[in-house]
A = this chain, B = another copy of it.
């Protein structure tokens, strides 16, 4: 790859952040832009919480908690314990260290900075050079439609542990949301070698990003290929409620369901060796297929997958868009 090339990743939280960490290791930092899902953001206890941006910030700065998949390592819970004694809401766990991020973010937002600017300041403070852009500086909120009505995302996901049956997903505020400047710049950069859709939940973490007006068309108009990494391996989601949600939404099981969902948006799909049998069926959808080990348990798994994504992207890059 040339020194001028940049890579733009669409990412949600845990699964996406793992691949981004691998890419950060493999690429020089100045070559990596991440467009983060902010559909999960919410206001809690007076603070603006941005779970996916924070997972990215913590993962890329080496501060992530490896056991929980969210929050910070070496976390303490004295604030939460005291809040409980005061009768406060404790269903969303805010650690003593994590809280410093939310308080700092809210103070900066209150001072008039955009979420993009605040995210940049937090990244600088945490010595993260990878550019993390919120998908939008405007509120676009993911809501899960259930038989009992629409649920705020964190209510569904954290408070109710993704147990309610989902019948649909709604992105509240999508009409009024604009792409964040950094997200737009990354997607339209002439240096872009590839747009990578990380192995985050396509319906809960990637769809909100694509729901930002203009974002999907900008992606489709890019001369760079768009390559997704399947979040599903051997019919199971690596993390989170993806498999359950796919059943509830009536989507075809496994990587084929992922391929069908992304067909028309991506040029290629990277799937796990365990799903190699689906290669021809995915190709029949007009997609290039990359096959490798996609389960990321340690840093070497992450960098190996990142290296594969980059090398595979170079083989897709030459294809004319219309061939997809």
Contact = CB atoms under 8 A, between A and B. Distances in A.
Interface of A: 45-47, 72, 76, 78-79, 82-83, 85-88, 96-97, 99-101, 103-104, 106-107, 110, 122, 125-126
A88 B103 contact: yes
A23 to B, nearest CB: 25
Contacts of A103: 45-47, 79, 83, 88
Q: Is the interface of A mostly helix, strand, loop or mixed?
A: helix
A82 B107 contact: no
Within the oligomer, what is the number of copies of this chain?
2
A97 B125 contact: no
Contact of A96 (B78, B88, B106): B78
Nearest to A94: B103
Interface hub of A78, A83, A87, A104 (most chain B Cβ within 10 A): A78
A109 to B, nearest CB: 9
B46 A86 contact: no
A242 B157 CA distance: 54
6 contacts: A46-B110, A72-B82, A76-B76, A78-B78, A86-B101, A87-B104
Given A76-B96, A79-B79, A97-B79, A104 B88 contact: yes
A126 B85 CA distance: 8
